[in-house]
Structure 1
Amino acid sequence: MNFELSDDVKSMQSRVRQFIREEVIPMERDPRQTSHGPSEALRNELVARARHHGLLTPHASVGMGGMELSHVAKAVIFEEAGYSPLGPTAMNIHAPDEGNIHLLDIVASDAQKERWLRPLAAGQIRSCFAMTEPAPGAGSDPSMLQTTAVRDGDDYVINGHKWLITGAEGAGFAIIMARTEDGNATMFLTDTDRPGFIVERMMDAMDSCFTGGHGVVRFDNLRVPASDVLGEVGRGFRYAQVRLAPARLTHCMRWLGAAQRAHDEACRYARTRESFGKRLGDHQGVGFMLADNEMDMLTTRLTIYHCAWVLDSGGRGNVESSMAKVISSEGIWRVIDRCVQVLGGQGVSGESIVERIFKDARGFRIYDGPNEVHRMSLARKIMAREDEGAGRS
């Protein structure tokens, strides 16, 4: 493994860093930032700025106007973008659109790419991914999928409930996971203005960094033409794996950028604030927290780079991305939590961006599968390996 960055990646890293600091961070207190994420007007302005600087949707394929970044290159660039809560939105690399762009590029037909992927990659529209359901439906266990899709002539009629659907409010289209009559899961593409696609309400959540927030969606006899099936009927769970491993890793990249921002804010405060006759950072208790932050971030960054290298080498990366997700989400949480402690009262108030990062980041240990589920999956793989005698002798 050689993580030496190419000159092109280093150049782009510098460009993104400058863009985030000069164009995006000054907009963090814009009144168009709502409790359910940036408003459409704010998002559109941010996207326009990224487009102007040639930094929009860099992960998309060249044919769709992107730079077709490798996973290692994404690790570098997405971390820089995550330095501001608005950075991923500006560069059109935020969830769920980033993962949907990757999925559509691999699975969608040419007609579907022109209809949905191209405007999505251009930042003209947003999307959502509708899989999670209220109990007793699918959550951490996708096999509990309750939403149904029944064939009726040239259409499928979809009925069901979804919730915690990120970006549902204002999305131009959705990817819906539903169970077809053969009992298997299938993915469907649909415009959200079709009759029967209903956003019932928005859910109040701790985070405020996702445009469109998190919504409750109902499908009431939603008709979707058979031509709008994404990929093949019955292969929805397999396509979900195509999306989940890379998208899980990009979450890690973006949140690492947020942790770096929190750490920088804490270091700045520890260097300038005095207490008991010396700077905060010169007190061992505070200095040790800053040192632990550096170690947690290095561990997280190396874990991300390793998984990205596996994906770039053609590996599936399922095991590596699960480990990266757990290591990253818990590591960056420790970093951000220490930063709140260093900042004291400022860390729990709107006086510092760290308070917002703290609220945004807590959900990361749940998003893309709770850490406990990833540990359970890893444990099963470990035991299966040992049962086969493939462990180390």
Structure 2
Amino acid sequence: MDFAFDARTEELRARLLAFMDEHVYPAEQVAHEQRARLSSPWENPPVVEELKAQARRQGLWNLFLPDAEYGAGLTNLQYAPLAEITGRSPQLAPTATNCAAPDTGNMEVLAQFGDERQKKQWLEPLLAGEIRSAFAMTEPDVASSDATNITTHIRREGDEYVISGRKWYISGAMHPDCKIFIVMGKTDPDGPDIRRQQSMVLVPRDTPGVTVKRAMQVFGYEDHYHGGHAEVVFDEARVPVSNLIGEEGGGFAIAQARLGPGRIHHCMRLIGMAERAIELMCRRAVSREAFGKALAQQGVVQNWIADARVAVEQLRLLVLKTAWMMDTVGNRGAHTEIQAIKIATPRTVVGILDRAIQLHGAGGVSQDFPLAELYAGARTLMLADGPDEVHQRSLARREIKKYL
């Protein structure tokens, strides 16, 4: 068993680490200052566009997409350590490299299921970083942890689909460059197979009947860097039938294909967040004194740091194994491992960030350190892409089935 990264991964890691040191970390404070002067809080600070241009010049662009026709052509195993690096600055680095959700998942959907017209109109500008997109699935009026519950209705009238429904926490929808929604709704609400009732359609943001009502906060944060999370109402919004992605009734299967890679990408970046937290903990511990000695000499602080290191090493191995399995046996074959990392990674990283905040005292909950915002993002991932309990339920059933 070889734990070394291959030559291409090592080369990209070196370039990406240098990009982070030379451009991304110095830009964090610049972006914060520039955002305060923007006319809209949802616009990208100018430094973000500079980072995107720099990343593209350096070939650090669309690293997430395994299809070499559209992306870097990396395997999941090759991309994992790169996503970890960008996770150290989740507000800037994923966007700078065009590897930010929800655009990544939407590009994967269009690349895999879109027709040539859809790819030309929407995938190409997304790949170029010229527009943003949103994925409209979650609804406030039903338990969206069960995707078969969605109530948004998509009915056909002649050569058009008419969409009516209410969605919320639609990531990216507040961004002024968000031009297209992938909307999941029911085209056959009374169909006998509950997993064949749903379809996905492309709905341009400027379609009459589409209203972005408000930005949803996440633990008080509006997540400006990712284009916010919006409540969106579709009131008899009409689009051509040609805007259907794949086939009628295929929405649930497309959603599952989309969420598999998305879950592992989140876990990869979470490990980077945990690594940054450990670094901040160590720097704080050696620079502060309490009760006559450095925090680094306090036994409880040493325990926190040691436990964090052990946990991160465990998570990384599990995520890399999952990436390898996705590459070798496919997403379906790696189903158990994908669920395992989705359960283990957010909750573990939340614990590490919580200790890091505690070690920083009042500074830990302030805007002077990234920890509070990282905590909010990590805690949200215990809900996003399926709550932990849904994955636990499914994983347990698969384990028990072996003994029936």
Bin of the TM-score, shorter chain as denominator length:
over 0.9
Q: 1:177 corresponds to which residue?
A: 184
Structure 2 counterparts to residues 283-322 of structure 1, below 5 A: 283-315=298-330, 316=332, 317-322=334-339
Once the two structures are superposed, what CA deviation does each residue of 1:278-316 show, in whole Å capped at 9, x if it has no partner? 321122111110000101111111111011011010332
Q: Which whole-Å CA distance do the structure 1 matches of 2:247 and 2:61 have between them?
A: 30
Aligned letter for 2:3? F
Is 2:382 the counterpart of 1:376? no
Which of 169, 173, 181 aligns to 1:168? It is 173
Q: Which whole-Å CA distance do the structure 2 matches of 1:382 and 1:177 have between them?
A: 31
Is 2:329 the counterpart of 1:323? no
Which of 273, 285, 307 aligns to 1:270? It is 285
Per the TM alignment, residue 2 of structure 1 is displaced from its structure 2 partner at its CA by: 3.5
Q: 1:188 corresponds to which residue?
A: 201
Q: Which whole-Å CA distance do the structure 2 matches of 1:97 and 1:186 have between them?
A: 19
- Given that 2:44 and 2:225 are in contact with CA atoms closer than 8 Å, whether structure 1 keeps it comes out as no
Is 2:13 the counterpart of 1:13? yes
Q: 1:155 corresponds to which residue?
A: 160
Q: Which whole-Å CA distance do the structure 2 matches of 1:227 and 1:3 have between them?
A: 47
Q: Which whole-Å CA distance do the structure 1 matches of 2:140 and 2:347 have between them?
A: 26
Per the TM alignment, residue 320 of structure 1 is displaced from its structure 2 partner at its CA by: 1.2
Structure 2 counterparts to residues 114-263 of structure 1, below 5 A: 114-136=120-142, 139-169=144-174, 170=176, 171-181=178-188, 183=191, 184-206=197-219, 207=221, 208=223, 210-263=225-278
- Given that 1:37 and 1:211 are in contact with CA atoms closer than 8 Å, whether structure 2 keeps it comes out as no
Q: Which whole-Å CA distance do the structure 1 matches of 2:202 and 2:335 have between them?
A: 25
Once the two structures are superposed, what CA deviation does each residue of 1:96-131 show, in whole Å capped at 9, x if it has no partner? 111111222111112211111111111111111000
Once the two structures are superposed, what CA deviation does each residue of 1:241-276 show, in whole Å capped at 9, x if it has no partner? 111111111001112111111110111111222233
- Given that 2:295 and 2:301 are in contact with CA atoms closer than 8 Å, whether structure 1 keeps it comes out as yes
Per the TM alignment, residue 236 of structure 1 is displaced from its structure 2 partner at its CA by: 0.6
Q: Which whole-Å CA distance do the structure 1 matches of 2:171 and 2:151 have between them?
A: 19
Per the TM alignment, residue 209 of structure 1 is displaced from its structure 2 partner at its CA by: 6.0
Percent identity over the alignment is 38
- Given that 1:132 and 1:165 are in contact with CA atoms closer than 8 Å, whether structure 2 keeps it comes out as yes
Per the TM alignment, residue 343 of structure 1 is displaced from its structure 2 partner at its CA by: 1.7
- Given that 1:32 and 1:38 are in contact with CA atoms closer than 8 Å, whether structure 2 keeps it comes out as no
Aligned letter for 1:368? D
Aligned letter for 1:194? T
Secondary structure in 2 aligned to 1:366? coil
- Given that 1:88 and 1:254 are in contact with CA atoms closer than 8 Å, whether structure 2 keeps it comes out as no
Secondary structure in 1 aligned to 2:381? helix
Is 2:25 the counterpart of 1:25? yes
The count of aligned residue pairs is 385
Q: 1:390 corresponds to which residue?
A: none
Per the TM alignment, residue 351 of structure 1 is displaced from its structure 2 partner at its CA by: 2.3
Secondary structure in 2 aligned to 1:158? strand
Q: 2:194 corresponds to which residue?
A: none
Q: 1:340 corresponds to which residue?
A: 357
Q: Which whole-Å CA distance do the structure 1 matches of 2:2 and 2:43 have between them?
A: 41
Q: Which whole-Å CA distance do the structure 2 matches of 1:325 and 1:11 have between them?
A: 28
- Given that 2:188 and 2:198 are in contact with CA atoms closer than 8 Å, whether structure 1 keeps it comes out as no
Secondary structure in 1 aligned to 2:4? coil
Per the TM alignment, residue 21 of structure 1 is displaced from its structure 2 partner at its CA by: 2.1
TM-score by length of 1: 0.93
Once the two structures are superposed, what CA deviation does each residue of 1:317-338 show, in whole Å capped at 9, x if it has no partner? 2221111011101111111111
Which of 285, 288, 295 aligns to 1:280? It is 295
- Given that 1:168 and 1:215 are in contact with CA atoms closer than 8 Å, whether structure 2 keeps it comes out as yes
- Given that 2:61 and 2:72 are in contact with CA atoms closer than 8 Å, whether structure 1 keeps it comes out as no
- Given that 1:300 and 1:324 are in contact with CA atoms closer than 8 Å, whether structure 2 keeps it comes out as yes
Per the TM alignment, residue 132 of structure 1 is displaced from its structure 2 partner at its CA by: 0.4
Q: 1:353 corresponds to which residue?
A: 370
Aligned letter for 1:108? G
Point out the more displaced range, 362-371 or 48-57.
48-57
Q: Which whole-Å CA distance do the structure 2 matches of 1:130 and 1:24 have between them?
A: 30
Q: Which whole-Å CA distance do the structure 1 matches of 2:45 and 2:119 have between them?
A: 26
Is 2:113 the counterpart of 1:107? yes
Q: Which whole-Å CA distance do the structure 2 matches of 1:215 and 1:164 have between them?
A: 5
Q: CA 1:252–1:286 in 2, change beyond 3 Å: closer, same or farther?
A: same
Q: Which whole-Å CA distance do the structure 2 matches of 1:373 and 1:302 have between them?
A: 23
Aligned letter for 1:177? M
Q: 1:39 corresponds to which residue?
A: 43
Point out the more displaced range, 372-381 or 238-247.
372-381
Once the two structures are superposed, what CA deviation does each residue of 1:61-85 show, in whole Å capped at 9, x if it has no partner? 3322x21211011111000011113
Point out the more displaced range, 273-282 or 18-27.
273-282
Once the two structures are superposed, what CA deviation does each residue of 1:15-62 show, in whole Å capped at 9, x if it has no partner? 111112221122222234479986334443332232232212112333
- Given that 1:128 and 1:165 are in contact with CA atoms closer than 8 Å, whether structure 2 keeps it comes out as yes
Aligned letter for 1:193? D
Q: 2:59 corresponds to which residue?
A: 54
Unaligned runs of 5+ in 1: 388-393
Per the TM alignment, residue 210 of structure 1 is displaced from its structure 2 partner at its CA by: 4.4
Per the TM alignment, residue 346 of structure 1 is displaced from its structure 2 partner at its CA by: 1.8
- Given that 2:55 and 2:61 are in contact with CA atoms closer than 8 Å, whether structure 1 keeps it comes out as yes
Once the two structures are superposed, what CA deviation does each residue of 1:145-188 show, in whole Å capped at 9, x if it has no partner? 10011111111111111011001123111111010036410011
Q: Which whole-Å CA distance do the structure 2 matches of 1:79 and 1:122 have between them?
A: 23
TM-score by length of 2: 0.91
